[in-house]
């Protein structure tokens, strides 16, 4: 078994009277693709925000492991957790819409590199970041679109680019927030293949409502419900867990025909085509 790269201990976040994340102790191995699932309001986004430092925990800790051992990330700012090796893609697109595909990745690479405060200046002076961008675009399947303007990409391609942006700076851990959300059913397989590829050399923690994607990709599933981790284990075991069925999956059947809108309403798990099953 690989070593852990990330762990939380008793991680908790209160918003006034609401406990969004409630004493979560969780670990992620360096070679693992783990899915974090749960109904709307379960605390998944808050948990991500606590990991990256976008929110400060009320209690508990976040630690990250590298060659020098464990480091306490609790309460660090997002740029500090990113420097440590924790990168995130967002549910809401986070691209520079009017610049090129290459430039989106180049800026991210340079922001994580030494020239942090100069990332808009003089591209020619930093060819290594252009090279890094080219390599990443190759990997995410967008090399042929490098000169396209980001806002002109299809939705699926924007998801590929977001993954490319998250890969810039060579993180150890990728946190992916609904990477298949809004992607048409024809393109979901491409996104799944891409994440599977990226997961071969990164630890991946993904939030995803599409249970077909989750069952396809995840080595392990962690389930949040009302801020608490109610299950954490192998996919089939978690899928068949009574508490998980009741809290979220509500009769999810991988073989059931699916129909309906592409996004689902997020209140329960969806099949590949977004057919509600809750
Ligand atoms: N900034 C905030 N202020 C107050 N309450 C918040 C804040 N952010 C989240 N919450 C509350 O915390 C709880 C967890 O929300 P969170 O967005 O983390 O859930 P989620 O599992 O990501 O949901 P979704 O699947 O809809 O994205 C919810 O009750 C939400 O209303």
Can you tell me which atom of ligand 1 is nearest the CA of 49? Answer: 18
pLDDT at 152: 95
Cβ proximity of 227 and 15 under 8 Å: no
pLDDT per residue, tens digit, the chain (278 aa), is: 579 999 999 999 999 999 999 999 999 999 999 999 999 999 999 999 999 999 999 999 999 999 899 999 999 999 999 999 999 987 667 789 999 999 999 999 988 876 454 445 555 557 888 999 999 999 999 999 999 999 999 888 998 999 999 999 889 999 999 988 888 888 899 899 999 999 999 999 999 999 999 999 999 999 999 999 999 999 999 999 998 988 887 767 777 655 434 444 445 666 544 333 22
CA–CA separation, 134 and 103 (whole Å): 10
Contact (Cβ atoms closer than 8 angstroms) between residue 222 and residue 241: no
Strand residues in the chain grouped as ranges (E): 4-15, 18-29, 33-37, 59-66, 69-72, 86-89, 173-177, 203-207, 220-225, 228-233
Q: What is the pLDDT of residue 123?
A: 52
Q: 52 in ligand 1 pocket by Cβ < 6 Å?
A: no
Rounded Cα gap, residues 238 and 217, in angstroms: 14
Predicted-complex ipTM score: 0.98
Determine the Cα–Cα distance for residues 82 and 267; give it in Å rounded to an integer: 30
Are the C-beta atoms of 34 and 61 separated by less than 8 Å? no
Does 270 sit in the ligand 1 pocket, CB within 6 Å? no
Residue 38 CA, closest ligand 1 atom number: 21
Q: Which residues pair with 36 in a beta bridge?
A: 207, 222
- Give the span between the Cα atoms of 235 and 128, in whole angstroms: 40
Tell me the two tokens of residue 4. 């852990």
CA 15 to ligand 1 center in whole angstroms: 9
Residues in the chain: 278
Of ligand 1's listed atoms, the one at least distance from the Cα of 91 is: 27
CB 47 within 8 A of CB 222: no
**Spatial CA neighbour of 1 closest among 35, 37, 27, 26:** 27
Q: Report the nearest-CA residue for atom 2 of ligand 1.
A: 15
pLDDT in the model for residue 121: 52
Are the C-beta atoms of residues 137 and 146 closer than 8 Å to each other?
Answer: yes
23 lines ligand 1 (CB under 6 A): no
Domains and CATH numbers, the chain: 1-85+171-278 (3.40.50.300), 94-170 (no CATH)
* Ligand 1 pocket check for 37: Cβ under 6 Å: no
Q: How is residue 64 written in tokens?
A: 């990250």
Atom 29, ligand 1: residue with shortest CA distance: 41
Contact 41 CB / ligand 1 (< 6 Å): yes
The ligand 1 atom at the shortest distance from the C-alpha of residue 227 is: 14
> Cβ–Cβ contacts within 10 Å for residue 92, how many?
7
- Whether the Cβ atoms of residue 225 and residue 238 lie closer than 8 Å to each other: no
Residue 27 is predicted with a pLDDT of 97
Q: Which two tokens stand for residue 127?
A: 């060819």
DSSP 170: -
Looking at the DSSP bridge assignments, the partners of residue 18 are: 15
């Amino acid at each position: 078994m690989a070593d852990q790269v990330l762990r939380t201990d008793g991680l908790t976040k209160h918003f006034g009277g609401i406990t969004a994340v409630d004493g979560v102790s969780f670990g992620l191995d360096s070679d693992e693709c783990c899915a974090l699932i749960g109904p709307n309001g379960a605390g998944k986004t808050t948990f991500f925000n606590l990991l990256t430092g976008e929110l400060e925990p009320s209690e508990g800790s976040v630690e990250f492991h590298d060659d020098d051992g464990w480091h306490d990330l609790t309460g660090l700012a997002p740029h500090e957790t990113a420097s440590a090796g924790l990168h995130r893609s967002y549910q809401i697109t986070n691209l520079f819409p009017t610049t090129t595909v290459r430039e989106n990745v180049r800026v991210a690479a340079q922001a994580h590199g030494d020239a942090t405060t100069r990332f808009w200046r003089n591209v020619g002076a930093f060819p290594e970041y252009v090279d890094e961008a080219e390599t990443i675009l190759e990997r995410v399947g967008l090399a042929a679109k490098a000169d396209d303007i980001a806002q002109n990409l299809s939705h699926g391609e924007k998801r590929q680019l977001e993954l490319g942006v998250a890969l810039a700076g060579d993180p150890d851990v990728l946190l992916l927030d609904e990477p298949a959300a809004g992607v048409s059913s024809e393109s979901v397989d491409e996104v799944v293949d891409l994440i599977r590829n990226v997961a071969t050399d990164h630890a991946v923690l993904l939030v995803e409502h599409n249970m077909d994607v989750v069952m396809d990709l995840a080595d392990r599933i962690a389930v949040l419900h009302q801020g608490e981790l109610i299950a954490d284990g192998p996919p089939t075991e978690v899928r068949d867990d009574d508490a998980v069925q009741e809290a979220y999956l509500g009769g999810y059947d991988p073989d059931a025909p699916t129909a309906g809108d592409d996004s689902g309403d997020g209140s329960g798990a969806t099949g590949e085509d977004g057919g509600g099953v809750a």
